[in-house]
Amino acid sequence: MEWRDQGIVLGVKRHGETSVIAEVMTHGRGRHLGLVRNGRSRSMQPVLQPGNLLELTWRARLDEHLGNFAAEPLSLRAAGLMEHAASLHGVQALAALLRLLPERDPHPHLFDMLNIVLDHLGETSGAGELFIRFELAVLNDLGYGLDLAECAATGTKHDLEYVSPRSGRAVSREAGLPYHDRLFRLPEFLKEGSKKAATRENLGEAFRMTRHFLDRHVYEPRGLEPGTAREGFIRAVLEGLDA
C-alpha cells in the first residue's frame, strides 16, 4: 500500500531511540499517523514541528497498519508560530480539535481551513475570528453544526440577534427579546453577509458560545477535558486586542 498527499504536522511522539510517530492532518485522508524513521535526527526535527506543511508518502503492507512516512518540507512555519503566545497556544488548540474527529476520516475542507488559520495565527485582529470559524466547522463535521441562517421561532432570515443554547439555532431580535438573558448573543461577524471585523466583546461571546456546544455535545459525553491550549490562545488574543 502506498499513497502521497500533503499533510500538516499536529504532533509527534518518540518511538525507539531514533524514530517518531508523526500525527498529521492530510488533505485527502484526514488525521493520520505514521512512523518516521530517524525522525529525531538533526535534519528531521525542524521538519516535524507542529504547523509545518509537508509532502508525505505513506507506505505499509496493509492499509490498517501504522505504516511509514517519508516527509519533505513544503512550508516550515513552525518557527514563526513559536514567536507569539497566541500562535503557540493556537496550533496546539487546533490539533486538539482535530483529534475529536475519527482517525483516517477525510475532511479536505478542514485541511484547507487549517492551512489558512495557521498562516494568520500571529495576526491578533484576525486569529480569533478564524479560530471561531474553525471550531464551528469541526462542530458541523461532528454532526452538531449551528444553524445561524434563520430564526428558529419564525423562520425569518433578518434581524437575527441571538443563538439558542439548546438547539444551536439563531433567534431573531423580536422572538428572543423575552428570553434574552438565557440566549447567546449572535456575534456580528458571524451574521450572514456581515463585513464587520470581530471585536473584543463579540469574540469573547463567540468563544463562550462555541465552548458551550463543544462541552455539551463532545467533551462531556465522551468524558474528555478540553485542555489548556484553547484558554491560553483566547487569553493571548484578547490581551492583544487590549494592547
- CATH number of the domain where residue 177 is located: 1.20.1440.120
- 232 membership: H or E segment, kind and range: helix 229-242
Give the whole-number percent of the chain exceeding pLDDT 70.
100
Nearest 10 degrees: Cα torsion 7, 207, 127, 104: 0
Q: Identify the pLDDT of residue 176.
A: 96
Mean pLDDT of 75-88: 94
| 157 CB-near residues (< 8 Å, 6+ apart) | 149, 150, 151, 192
Distance CA 44, CA 29 (A): 23
Q: Same domain, yes or no, for 111 and 49?
A: no
Q: Which of 7-16, 125-134, 190-199 has the lowest mean pLDDT?
A: 190-199
Q: Same domain, yes or no, for 90 and 65?
A: no
Q: Identify the pLDDT of residue 174.
A: 96
Q: Identify the pLDDT of residue 164.
A: 98
Give the whole-number percent of the chain exceeding pLDDT 90.
91
Q: Same domain, yes or no, for 92 and 211?
A: yes
Q: Same domain, yes or no, for 193 and 220?
A: yes
Q: Which domain covers residue 10, as residue numbers?
A: 2-76
Q: Identify the pLDDT of residue 159.
A: 95
Q: Same domain, yes or no, for 133 and 62?
A: no
Over residues 32-52, the pLDDT tens digits come to 999 999 999 999 999 999 999
Is 70 exceeded by the pLDDT of residue 64?
A: yes
Q: Which of 3-12, 123-132, 148-157 has the lowest mean pLDDT?
A: 123-132
Distance CA 90, CA 243 (A): 19
Q: Same domain, yes or no, for 43 and 160?
A: no
Q: Identify the pLDDT of residue 193.
A: 85
Cell numbers that stand for 97 in this block? 480539535
Contact 53, 4 (CB under 8 A): no
Over residues 167-216, the pLDDT tens digits come to 999 999 999 999 999 999 999 999 988 888 888 999 999 999 999 999 99
Q: Identify the pLDDT of residue 125.
A: 73
Q: Identify the pLDDT of residue 242.
A: 78
Q: Could you tell me the CATH number of the domain that includes residue 67?
A: 2.40.50.140
Amino acid identity of residue 53, one-letter, is L
Mean pLDDT of 14-23: 96
**Of 76, 107, 131, which closes a domain?**
76
Q: Same domain, yes or no, for 170 and 56?
A: no
Q: Identify the pLDDT of residue 241.
A: 85
Q: Which of 3-7, 54-58, 59-63, 139-143 has the lowest mean pLDDT?
A: 59-63
Total count of domains within the chain? 2
Q: Same domain, yes or no, for 91 and 164?
A: yes
Q: Same domain, yes or no, for 133 and 210?
A: yes
Q: Same domain, yes or no, for 202 and 146?
A: yes
**Of 55, 76, 97, which closes a domain?**
76
**Of 60, 76, 92, which closes a domain?**
76
Q: For 123-224, where are the alpha helices, taking DSSP H only?
A: 124-141, 173-176, 200-214, 220-222
- 5 membership: H or E segment, kind and range: strand 2-15
Q: Identify the pLDDT of residue 196.
A: 85
Task: Please give the C-alpha separations between residue 164 and each of 129, 138, 142, 156, 210, in angstroms, as whole numbers.
Answer: 20, 19, 19, 15, 12
Q: Identify the pLDDT of residue 243.
A: 63
Q: Same domain, yes or no, for 33 and 65?
A: yes
Is 90 exceeded by the pLDDT of residue 4?
A: yes
